Amino acid sequence: MTPVLILRPQPGADETAARARALGLEPVVAPLFTVRPVDWDVPDAGDFDAVLLTSAHAARGIPRRLTSLPCYTTGEASARAAREAGFGDVLSGPSDGEAALAMARSDGRSRLLHLCGRDHVALGGVERRIVYAADALAALPDTVREALAADAVVLLHSPRASALFAGLVENRRGIRLALISGAAAVAAGEGWAEKAVAARPRDEALLEVAAKLCNIAAPGARRMGR
């Protein structure tokens, strides 16, 4: 069976792996990033109408005094993390941070606090706090190389992951990519055997694309570095 290579950080990587197994896929988990919290100044909840989360990682460790605010998220994973953090009023946007922000604005929220990672897409008109960092590996681990040698389909969950993987891989020929968005596809660049973009920026849609790629005969034998 063609494996699917999951490069996203934990705990999301294990969640993707569980979904992949449910689809009959063979996941290989090899995160390229390590997520860690960073120190940040917690503002007064009374200064804001709502909290905006564009990543589930940002929800972990949020002080309880902020969870009294409504929380807008970019998908079910971040919405679930927000509920686990203690938010009672959680609204999930249809796609990205801009869409979640637009939803908040349409609900009359004008003072938003965006909790995000060190590497993030800046959103206009919101106050921002960086609450975590995702540190990238300097080289591909052996697990990744072995999966690529087995013609694995590579799952890329963000533009940053796409750019990092593209910079670390030694030979793009024969490697097939399943990408969560058009922005991730652009960041990956060209020269791959195939690039397939999910219909929606959701893990489930990305795995649907990966499953289709796994049903396609893998390219001819290749090895990293050739």
> Within a domain: residue 170?
yes
> Within a domain: residue 38?
no
Residues contacting 134, CB < 8 A, separation 6+:
9, 33, 34, 35, 57, 117, 118, 119, 160
Boundaries of domain holding 17: 3-33+137-214
Residues 29 and 48 both lie in one domain: no
Residues 62 and 114 both lie in one domain: yes
> Within a domain: residue 52?
yes
Residues 143 and 129 both lie in one domain: no
Q: Which residue has the tokens 């637009």?
A: 102
The pTM (predicted TM-score) of the whole model is 0.83
Per-residue pLDDT 10s for the chain (226 aa) are 899 999 999 989 999 999 999 999 999 999 999 999 999 999 999 999 999 999 999 998 899 999 999 999 988 889 999 999 999 999 997 778 899 999 999 999 999 999 999 988 889 999 999 999 999 999 999 999 999 999 999 999 999 999 999 999 989 999 999 999 999 999 999 999 999 999 988 899 999 999 999 985 444 434 343 3
> Within a domain: residue 222?
no
> Within a domain: residue 9?
yes
Residues 66 and 128 both lie in one domain: yes
> Within a domain: residue 209?
yes
We report the CATH number of the domain holding residue 173 as: 3.40.50.10090
